[in-house]
A and B are shown apart, each in its own frame.
Chain A
Amino acid sequence: MKRSIGKRIVLLFSITLVLTILASAALGFSSAYSAELEQNRAVGRSAAYITSEILDLINLDLIMDPQNDLAYDLARMQLRTVCRSLSLMYLYVYTVDGDEVRHYVMTAASDDELDEVVREGLGLGTVSREPLHEQERVALAGGESDSRFLVNNRYGKTSVWTTPYFSEDGTVAALIGTDVSVEVSNDAIVKQFLVRVLPVTAFLIIAFLVLYYLLRRRLIRPLHAVAARMEQFDPSTKNEPLSIRSQDEIQQIADAFEKMSGDIRTYIRNIETITAQQQYARAQLDVARRIQYGMVPASFHDRRDGLDVCGLMRPAKEVGGDFYDCFLRPDGQYCALIADVSGKGIAGALFMALTKNLVRERIMHCEDPADALNSVNDDLCAQNPEGMFVTLFAMLIDPQTGVVRCANAGHNPPVLLKRGSAAYMKPKPGIALGLFPDADIETETMTLAPGEGVLLYTDGVTEAVNTEKTFYGTERLLMLLQTLDRTDSRAAVTAVEESVDAFFAGCEQFDDITVVAVYAAGADGRTALPLTLDAFGPVRQRILSECEGSANAKKIVLACEEAFVNIVQYANATEADYRVRREGDLLTVELRDNGARFDPLSEPLKQDDDFFSMDEGGLGIRFIRSIASDAKWNYTDGRNVLTLVFRL
């Protein structure tokens, strides 16, 4: 604390005190001075009056007569008596001639030694040519000056008072000078001054000390006590109440502080309780979230005869409501579905769990997907006190024929994927499940040719928002899917995930992102193969992903490329397809074409000696036979079928 109130009060009081003392000293001095001046004047006037009487009585002319010593001595004796009785230093009578020269008549002094000196030194007949001073001029004119006149000469320092002596005819016959010792006069002034100033000063100092003591006791100490209590405030311990009973503002502060610290303790206790409750609730929510996402795999990939399915769900920070499900029905139909539950939090999680199990159970048991969804809707409407709902798109695909039956319950329209093109499907919108008892969802049918697919997604994809507050949007999704050059479900899902990630660019993901891609590989898992060299790209990717990590991967690609290039360049085919199947560490690749009947395996192999004709061809077949652990060719239904088996 740099500036305490105590120090400030002391400083303020000291300044006030000094100023007061200075003011009272100035006043006291001026009053003592004027009192002394008045005293001098009164004494001078009295002395002059008495002296005038003496001069009148003895007669000035007789006194000034050099022959009449008696009158002179008598007058001087009388003057000395006056001088002594009035404590004057000198009392003298003199005349002033026309040349302003003083002619002394007589001078008396109180002090005996001085009197001896001035009896002759300033006696009858002595003159002084000192210039006349103001008092003398005023006195010569018959008046009396108010101003003090100080003389400092060989007779000492005196304060002079000059009065005229009038003759009987009223003219100024002589001047009477009364001198008071300046020393005496000053002593008197000082004495007067002290008498006036000292008691005031002493009173002020005592008053200040008393006041300061009271301030300290009543204000500063209680303030310190309150401040110390505030500094040491610890919400966890309860202090004894402050013992300030001053019934004033300080006690008001102390009481307010006591109340406030009590309130703070209460608030802290409340906050601790609330925080504990929140932690508990959050832990519960986390458990709900784990259970919920445990029901939906983060990623899923299934490649089977005729189908290539990949699913992905990336949950948002809070519990969202997306889910997808992919499963094979006992009748060989494959179901892929995607859904978005309206609510979030625990309610959403519970509703999602209920819906997911219900939907799977109904689709397993109803032949028709719309029947299944309508039945789910009836159940949800009957058991839905919170009025929650779920949008859902379900498709049942026959892997052998590529026939798809789908049912839409108010979900985003899926995208139909063909090689090099993509378009939004236009299913009947339907209505979200759980809202109205008669949803009347209808089944629609279409067929996927080999290599065609469907991409299902939730609005977490199209309504992803980036830092510039723009939506990812359906257009962007479509443009992305149009650039896909592979009929590979995992590639499609990964492309969407990476594109949305790039779009977010560090922004927080607010909603679950869920994508499911289903490609029909055609009956028996065959995929159509365009007869251009660049069509081998997807085949190569497919082989590489099937034998991921195998040291033989590139050799297998090499053998397949050679076989494919032979078809494109020499077979004169118009249609071709392929299928890839992995069983254990064996990879089977089957290539079919409707070109000229040709058995590549029966061709005689070129020998190494034919090096210089190698640039004419023949190497490819040599590679196929070297790399494949088993190779078969047959000609069935107008098609060459080359089956290559590789060991990974």
Chain B
Amino acid sequence: MTIEKIEENGAVTLKLAGWLDTQAAALLEEQIEALDAGTPSLVLDLAALEYTSSAGLRQIVAAHKKVDGQLTLKNVQPEIRDVLEMAGFLKRLHVVS
């Protein structure tokens, strides 16, 4: 699991790659806790994400709360989309292509 952070005019993009399992979720948690309180928007680029467990999804919920709903999921692959669907997240999250 690797996370690449890109900041542009305060807006943050986190590129997630690999397996976001229970252990790896701790890495994402660190990143989200490190975000400034006033971060205007957060984009999670999931192009290279191969797997996520519920622990990963919990961090996505945490992120959503941290940026007051200004969270966008980008490049969601079909397998990840299935998991988000199962969790009922697709209705609540802003997902682009």
CB contact between A614 and one of B21, B23, B57 (< 8 Å): that residue: B57
Answer whether A534 and B86 are a contact pair too, CB < 8 Å, given A562-B54, A611-B92. no
Closest A residue, CB atoms, query B22: A565
CB contact between B50 and one of A554, A607, A617 (< 8 Å): that residue: A554
Q: Is B83 an interface residue (CB 8 A)?
A: yes
Q: Is B35 an interface residue (CB 8 A)?
A: no
Docked Cα-Cα span, A612 to B93, in Å, equals 11
Q: Could you say which residues of chain B place their CB within 8 Å of the CB of A169? A: none
> Which of A534, A612, A619 has the largest count of B CB atoms less than 10 A from its CB?
A619
Q: Could you say which residues of chain B place their CB within 8 Å of the CB of A627? A: 86
How many A-B residue contacts, CB cutoff 8 Å?
62
Is the pair B83, A612 in contact by a Cβ cutoff of 8 Å?
Answer: no
Is the pair B88, A554 in contact by a Cβ cutoff of 8 Å?
Answer: no
A304-336 vs B, Cβ < 8 Å mask (1 yes, 0 no): 000000000000000000000000000000000
Closest A residue, CB atoms, query B79: A554
Is the pair B58, A614 in contact by a Cβ cutoff of 8 Å?
Answer: yes
- 20 A-B interface contacts by CB (under 8 A): A533-B23, A536-B21, A558-B83, A561-B21, A562-B53, A562-B54, A565-B22, A565-B55, A607-B88, A608-B91, A608-B92, A611-B88, A611-B92, A614-B57, A614-B61, A616-B58, A617-B54, A619-B54, A623-B87, A627-B86
CB contact between B61 and one of A534, A536, A615, A620 (< 8 Å): that residue: A615
Q: Could you say which residues of chain B place their CB within 8 Å of the CB of A619? A: 54, 57-58, 87
Docked Cα-Cα span, A263 to B23, in Å, equals 82
Answer whether A565 and B53 are a contact pair too, CB < 8 Å, given A611-B92, A615-B62. yes
Is the pair A614, B51 in contact by a Cβ cutoff of 8 Å?
Answer: no
Closest A residue, CB atoms, query B85: A626
Q: Could you say which residues of chain B place their CB within 8 Å of the CB of A561? A: 21-22, 53
Q: Could you say which residues of chain A place their CB within 8 Å of the CB of B61? A: 611-612, 614-615
B65-97 vs A, Cβ < 8 Å mask (1 yes, 0 no): 100000000000001001100111101100000
Closest Cβ of chain B to A47, distance in Å, is 136
Q: Is A303 an interface residue (CB 8 A)?
A: no
Q: Could you say which residues of chain A place their CB within 8 Å of the CB of B87? A: 614, 619, 622-623
Is the pair B22, A622 in contact by a Cβ cutoff of 8 Å?
Answer: no
Is the pair A554, B51 in contact by a Cβ cutoff of 8 Å?
Answer: yes
- For the side of the interface on B, what is the size category? 20 to 34
Q: Is A557 an interface residue (CB 8 A)?
A: yes
> Which of A558, A565, A616, A626 has the largest count of B CB atoms less than 10 A from its CB?
A558
Q: Could you say which residues of chain B place their CB within 8 Å of the CB of A623? A: 54, 83, 86-87
Q: Could you say which residues of chain B place their CB within 8 Å of the CB of A554? A: 50-51, 79
Q: Could you say which residues of chain A place their CB within 8 Å of the CB of B89? A: 611, 614
A225-262 vs B, Cβ < 8 Å mask (1 yes, 0 no): 00000000000000000000000000000000000000
Closest Cβ of chain B to A521, distance in Å, is 24
Closest Cβ of chain A to B78, distance in Å, is 10
Known: A555-B79, A614-B87. 12 other contacts (CB 8 A): A536-B21, A558-B52, A558-B83, A561-B21, A607-B88, A608-B91, A612-B61, A612-B65, A615-B58, A623-B86, A623-B87, A627-B86
Binding site for A on B (CB under 8 A): 21-23, 50-55, 57-59, 61-62, 65, 79, 82-83, 86-89, 91-92
Docked Cα-Cα span, A616 to B92, in Å, equals 17
The 6 nearest A-B residue pairs measured at CB: A608-B88, A619-B54, A615-B61, A615-B58, A620-B54, A611-B92
Docked Cα-Cα span, A608 to B91, in Å, equals 9
Docked Cα-Cα span, A58 to B63, in Å, equals 169
Is the pair B22, A533 in contact by a Cβ cutoff of 8 Å?
Answer: yes
Q: Could you say which residues of chain B place their CB within 8 Å of the CB of A558? A: 51-53, 83
Docked Cα-Cα span, A608 to B21, in Å, equals 22
Docked Cα-Cα span, A241 to B92, in Å, equals 106
Q: Would you list which residues of chain A between 525 and 563 have a CB under 8 Å from chain B?
A: 533-534, 536, 554-555, 557-558, 561-562
Q: Could you say which residues of chain A place their CB within 8 Å of the CB of B65? A: 612, 615
Closest B residue, CB atoms, query A532: B23
Answer whether A622 and B86 are a contact pair too, CB < 8 Å, given A614-B58, A615-B58, A615-B62. yes
Q: Could you say which residues of chain A place their CB within 8 Å of the CB of B91? A: 608
Q: Could you say which residues of chain B place their CB within 8 Å of the CB of A562? A: 53-54
Is the pair A534, B23 in contact by a Cβ cutoff of 8 Å?
Answer: yes
Docked Cα-Cα span, A620 to B21, in Å, equals 12
Closest Cβ of chain B to A529, distance in Å, is 14
Docked Cα-Cα span, A619 to B54, in Å, equals 6
Q: Could you say which residues of chain A place their CB within 8 Å of the CB of B86? A: 622-623, 626-627
Closest Cβ of chain B to A282, distance in Å, is 51
Closest A residue, CB atoms, query B52: A558
Q: Could you say which residues of chain A place their CB within 8 Å of the CB of B58? A: 614-617, 619
Closest Cβ of chain B to A437, distance in Å, is 60
Q: Would you list which residues of chain A between 361 and 394 have a CB under 8 Å from chain B?
A: none
Q: Could you say which residues of chain A place their CB within 8 Å of the CB of B51? A: 554, 557-558
Docked Cα-Cα span, A565 to B21, in Å, equals 10
Docked Cα-Cα span, A612 to B61, in Å, equals 7
Q: Could you say which residues of chain B place their CB within 8 Å of the CB of A534? A: 23
Closest B residue, CB atoms, query A557: B51
Docked Cα-Cα span, A617 to B50, in Å, equals 22
Docked Cα-Cα span, A615 to B66, in Å, equals 12
Docked Cα-Cα span, A314 to B55, in Å, equals 44
Docked Cα-Cα span, A612 to B50, in Å, equals 25
Closest B residue, CB atoms, query A608: B88
Q: Could you say which residues of chain A place their CB within 8 Å of the CB of B54? A: 562, 617, 619-620, 622-623
